[in-house]
Chains A and B, each alone.
Chain A
Amino acid sequence: MSEFQWVLKGRCYKLGHDVWHAGGVVPSWIITGRHFDPKDIIPHLFEETDPGFHTRCKPGDIIVTGKNFGMGPKMNGYIAMQALGLGLVCESMPFLAYRAAIGCGVRVMTDCVNATDLCDTGDEIEVNFRDGFFINHTRDIRREYPPIPDALMEIVELGGNAGWLQQWQAKRATAVS
């Protein structure tokens, strides 16, 4: 567990306020079609606002959003973000959107006040999701934000709920045998 990468460093991808999961993060048909395989979702991440996003982003890149990111508590977009190794920093999220992101193993911080004032798309950003640091190297800005709560870190480390449950069962099976 110790090698899990809680610090991400990459390019900033900035979004505004009130981004719906359906349409804003992934097309609606991804949700209604119940697509949960990352390879099916990745080509369509942010497709309606930034076609080809998946070809330009790199592991470690960080999505920085305004208020109310991910309205509609869906998982599909977070599955793609986790698989692509992206981080997520939001000024606010509906709680169930936050829960869905954690459940998919996304490194995510919310309640990051005025985060979108501190960066622009393309800036070099570094975020420590364990300790709650946000650094914009391009603009030489540093802020502290609420990190992922200790009690939820294991879920993220294990790649989300599925990974957590898999390990829980493996431990139990070992204990029984």
Chain B
Amino acid sequence: MTAVEKVLAAKSGRNSVKPGDVVSPDPDYIMIHDGVVMAAKRELDALGITRLATPDKVMMVTDHDVIYGSARAAERGAFNRKAAAQWGVKNFFDVGRGGHGHIFPMESGLLLPGMFYFDNDRHATNAGAIGAFGFRMGTEISRVLATGTNWVMVPKTVRLTLKGRLQSGVHARDVGFHFAAMLKQEKLSADLDYRVLEYAGDLEQFDLASRAALCSTPTEIRAYGVFVPPSQAIIEHARARGQRLFTAVYSDADAAYDADLMLDISRLEPQVSLPGSVENAVDVSKVEGTVIDHAFIGSCGSGMWEDLVTAASILKGRRLAPNVRLFVAPGSETTNRRLASEGLLGIFIEAGAVMLPPGCGPCNDAVIGPVHSGEVSMSTATNNNAGRFGAKDAQLYLGSPATVAASAVAGKITDARKLN
């Protein structure tokens, strides 16, 4: 069996499962984000369901709209706090308490290798960074809250073997952008719809933050799960912080894959995804010099400590170009505190960046730091579909934290390796 098949079998009390089987796994957690609590609570209340099946497993997270830019958002925050109390949810990571739900549980040892959880949000795929699985339920999260589970059709697995080491200055996000472009250009062939993308090959070079970055782009091209087999370093991270015992899961040597792909990353250049889709990735040299107005570093793909260290190393001693506003959203409160204690916060502020609270930042429906019509943005957002964070006719480019930081300093899209 593949890793996802093993985990779903174990959580469903079966010896084995195969793609297409329908199971009802018993999850380790059930995550619900701030934007959907109100609808789920009202739906369940209308049915007379006031008690959750497993409130101890529920994590409520305020990460999509953290600082309430509107009266409606403040009303939702108040509603959510009341809902948490009524439901008896103790793992309530409200404003200023946790950060991004797809980042801090991996950092803090809540989410561990081999785990499975349900989430309303599709970026639960980030769990693959620590060797776990998070499956998106959308509005069906209400059924999970009420009953403790929901049906899952076992997905097929596509294996992507990465060959070689990334050159200095090239980032894991660049790998994802390039992979998406290779699929679009039909230089690689696989259907990722409702598949788990499992990485293989030269993975030791990727730390937890890089693994989260590897999970990001496949999600945008319809992968339902992403899995990076945990390295010894990841296992040690989990053991050091883990709040319970865990067993890491790996695919069997004879596991069956829906497709088996190979990507040589040893000569990869920093990538930039052109506006419209993550799949529009090109070498940064193709778009160098494009003037930008807006920049953002953060999101579930690029909001971890190491991502911000990379950005800070470029911003140190420099100022943003006068034409650029840069927003930075750390992935967790822990990272935020560390930025302060280790002096990196000063680097961002001295450079002229605006620090946002830990969470999704502009990447959630432009609730904060949006772009205006006709503006050009360079960011580490999860995707650059038209209107992702503001005006539909804004031009949204994507790159790694290094490329975004360098571009914000230069005022135009820039290869961080060439920054003077």
Interface residues of B in 41-85 (CB under 8 A from A): 43, 47-49
Secondary structure at the B interface, as helix, strand, loop or mixed, is mixed
Interface residues of A in 55-87 (CB under 8 A from B): 73, 75
Are the C-beta atoms of A152 and B22 separated by less than 8 Å?
yes
Do A151 and B22 form a contact, CB below 8 Å, given A95-B153, A96-B194, A165-B47? yes
B193 on interface, CB distance cutoff 8 Å:
yes
Are the C-beta atoms of B142 and A94 separated by less than 8 Å?
no
Interface residues of A in 142-177 (CB under 8 A from B): 149-152, 155, 161-162, 164-166, 168-169, 173
Do A94 and B193 form a contact, CB below 8 Å, given A165-B143, A169-B146? yes
A24 on interface, CB distance cutoff 8 Å:
no
A162, B155: Cα distance in complex, Å: 25
> Which chain A residues border B151 with CB–CB below 8 Å?
151-152, 155
How many chain B residues touch the partner (CB < 8 A)? Answer: 20
> Which chain A residues border B146 with CB–CB below 8 Å?
165, 168-169
B165 on interface, CB distance cutoff 8 Å:
no
Do A169 and B143 form a contact, CB below 8 Å, given A94-B193, A95-B153, A151-B151? no
Query: Please, what's the 1-or-0 string for B131-143, where 1 marks a CB less than 8 Å from any CB in chain A?
Result: 0000010111011
A172, B155: Cα distance in complex, Å: 31
- Among A75, A165, A173, chain B packs the most CB atoms within 10 A around the CB of A165
Instruction: Report the tally of A-B residue pairs with Cβ distances under 8 A.
Output: 42
**Nearest chain-A residue to B136 (Cβ)?**
A96
> Which chain A residues border B142 with CB–CB below 8 Å?
165
A105 on interface, CB distance cutoff 8 Å:
no
B185 on interface, CB distance cutoff 8 Å:
no
Are the C-beta atoms of B48 and A95 separated by less than 8 Å?
no
Query: Please, what's the 1-or-0 string for B261-296, where 1 marks a CB less than 8 Å from any CB in chain A?
Result: 000000000000000000000000000000000000
Do A173 and B22 form a contact, CB below 8 Å, given A73-B138, A161-B140? no
What is the CB-to-nearest-CB distance from A147 to chain B, in angstroms, rounded to a whole number?
13
Query: Please, what's the 1-or-0 string for A119-141, where 1 marks a CB less than 8 Å from any CB in chain B?
Result: 00000000000000000000000
Are the C-beta atoms of A95 and B47 separated by less than 8 Å?
no
Do A149 and B194 form a contact, CB below 8 Å, given A95-B224, A103-B140? no
**Nearest chain-B residue to A75 (Cβ)?**
B139
B147 on interface, CB distance cutoff 8 Å:
yes
Are the C-beta atoms of B22 and A168 separated by less than 8 Å?
no
Are the C-beta atoms of B47 and A166 separated by less than 8 Å?
yes
Are the C-beta atoms of B222 and A169 separated by less than 8 Å?
no
> Which chain B residues border A165 with CB–CB below 8 Å?
47, 49, 142-143, 146-147
Query: Please, what's the 1-or-0 string for B211-228, where 1 marks a CB less than 8 Å from any CB in chain A?
Result: 000000000001010000
Do A95 and B193 form a contact, CB below 8 Å, given A151-B151, A165-B142? yes
> Which chain B residues border A169 with CB–CB below 8 Å?
47-49, 146
A and B contact pairs by CB, cutoff 8 A, 14 listed? A73-B138, A94-B193, A94-B194, A95-B224, A96-B136, A103-B140, A151-B22, A152-B22, A161-B143, A164-B143, A165-B142, A165-B146, A166-B47, A168-B146
Other contacts beyond A95-B153, A169-B48: 14, CB < 8 A: A95-B224, A96-B136, A96-B138, A96-B194, A100-B138, A149-B22, A149-B153, A150-B22, A152-B22, A161-B143, A164-B143, A165-B47, A165-B142, A173-B48
Report which B residues bind A (CB closer than 8 A).
Answer: 22, 43, 47-49, 136, 138-140, 142-143, 146-147, 151, 153, 155, 193-194, 222, 224
4 nearest A-B residue pairs (beta carbon): A95-B194, A151-B22, A169-B47, A94-B193
